[in-house]
Amino acid sequence: MKRSERIAVIGVGIVGASVGWNLSRHGAEVVFIDAGRPGEGVTNWSFSWVNASNKTARKSYFDLNAAGMAAHRELAGNIGPDSWWHPTGHLRWADDPAAETKLLETAELLAGWDYRVEMYTGAEVRSRLEPALTMPDELPVVFYPDEAWVHGRHLVGRLVGQAVASGAEIRSGNAVSDIGIGADGSIRTVALSDGSRLDVDIVVNAAGPSASHVAGLIARHLPMRREPGVVTRIDCAPVPVHRAMHAPHIEIRPDGDTSVVLHSREIDALIDTGKDPAHLARLLHESARHVVPELGNSRIAETRIVDRPIPADGFPSVGAVPSVPGYYEAVSHSGITLGPVIGQLLASEILSGKRDELLADFRPERFPS
């Protein structure tokens, strides 16, 4: 890539912010474009759990997520952990024999892949890690000490702020309405909803749930799943839990000093039944207080339903699309875990043209245009 080339990063969640920050710190001219405000879309309404323990369907996907965990630790060293980085580990347990068997089999598999796994009883968890929990004394609990949770909006703010200080431009509140292609088939312009048109040489599609629409502007078909999720924030002080956890039927994590985040795949399944989001929030709150009784006195603060950015086969789409020179994709579920490593690898690919083997199974060309 020539240093004079201008790169438009469309979508400024954790993935887009990471790509743009990595490009900017290596001297590239970057313009961030977001239909809303940076970090306030899906990134702010995610369970935000940094892990590879839930990514065992394919070894290459596990390896990419393990690299994502390492990239977070490196990033915390580079920009400082501040309020965004919380490497406090992750707890998981089950309440029926089949789920418990699967949990322990996964833990054994991960240990065989040199992933750190610790086993506790319920009594040990309450005495050593989380005294506010309710669980049977002899219950087996898996602890993954190297996992973390991230405050995504704070991290995006840090990355974008540093990129802008290095010369990057930001266009918030602007959707992309058109992408102009030159006679040679390469990227030339990006038109915005405010009527402006930017001359650019490269586009990075990091538009999350809108990525398929952005791809369509260059006549590319990027198939995406529709998989909405509901997340609720609970106001409570002091916060009674110290780390992310997957309890039976509910996921719970801290969200700073005065709130807790709740999510459940079981409650997600009710979204399309027409249930009011406030009702879904009450169901989440009810499930959470069975695990952490202190949350019974807390107040539901905010609830949001968002579409997760998941390509059709469930895996990321990252890299160049050879049929359109200058067009790259950075679209992935697990964006919180993968954002920093996708940012590193895709920025390197754009700047040097070298394709990293970590992305070999996740190239956009597996979805034919």
Each residue's pLDDT tens digit, 35-73: 999 999 999 999 999 999 999 999 999 999 999 999 999
| Domain end position, chosen among 288, 307, 326 | 307
Say if residues 292 and 129 touch (Cβ distance below 8 Å). Answer: no
Is the pLDDT confidence value at 4 over 80?
A: no
Same domain, 220 and 340: yes
Show the tokens assigned to 234. Answer: 């609970």
Is the pLDDT confidence value at 33 over 80?
A: yes
* Maximum CA extent, the chain: 69
Task: Classify residue 139: in a domain, yes or no.
Answer: yes
Band of residue 190 on the pLDDT scale cut at 50, 70, 90: very high
If we measure between CA atoms, which residue out of 301, 284, 15 comes closest to residue 152? 15
Report cis status (omega within 30 of 0) of the bond before 87: no
Say if residues 10 and 207 touch (Cβ distance below 8 Å). Answer: yes
CA-to-CA distance for 72 and 147, rounded, in angstroms?
A: 10
Task: Classify residue 73: in a domain, yes or no.
Answer: no
Same domain, 233 and 303: yes
Over residues 306-319, the pLDDT tens digits come to 999 999 999 999 99
Is the pLDDT confidence value at 300 over 70?
A: yes
Same domain, 179 and 113: no
Same domain, 324 and 217: yes
Task: Output the pLDDT for position 279.
Answer: 96
- Name the DSSP letter for residue 224: B
Q: Average per-residue pLDDT in the chain?
A: 96
| Domain end position, chosen among 268, 286, 307 | 307
CA-to-CA distance for 314 and 111, rounded, in angstroms?
A: 24
Q: What is the mean pLDDT of residues 333-352?
A: 97
Task: Classify residue 1: in a domain, yes or no.
Answer: no
Q: Taking the model in full, what pTM does it have?
A: 0.96
3-state DSSP assignment of residue 364: helix
Over residues 262-296, the pLDDT tens digits come to 999 999 999 998 889 999 999 999 999 999 999 99
Task: Classify residue 233: in a domain, yes or no.
Answer: yes
- Count: domains in the chain: 3
The share of the chain scoring above pLDDT 70, in percent, equals 99
Is the pLDDT confidence value at 147 over 90?
A: yes
Is the pLDDT confidence value at 1 over 80?
A: no
3-state DSSP assignment of residue 325: coil
The share of the chain scoring above pLDDT 90, in percent, equals 96
Task: Output the pLDDT for position 3.
Answer: 45
Q: What is the mean pLDDT of residues 223-232?
A: 96
Same domain, 354 and 205: yes
Same domain, 239 and 291: yes
Is the pLDDT confidence value at 2 over 70?
A: no
Range of the domain at 167: 6-47+152-225+312-366
Task: Output the pLDDT for position 274.
Answer: 82
Same domain, 248 and 303: yes
Task: Output the pLDDT for position 275.
Answer: 84
Over residues 11-24, the pLDDT tens digits come to 999 999 999 999 99
Same domain, 135 and 242: no
Same domain, 324 and 196: yes
Task: Classify residue 62: in a domain, yes or no.
Answer: no
Is the pLDDT confidence value at 184 over 70?
A: yes
Same domain, 270 and 129: no
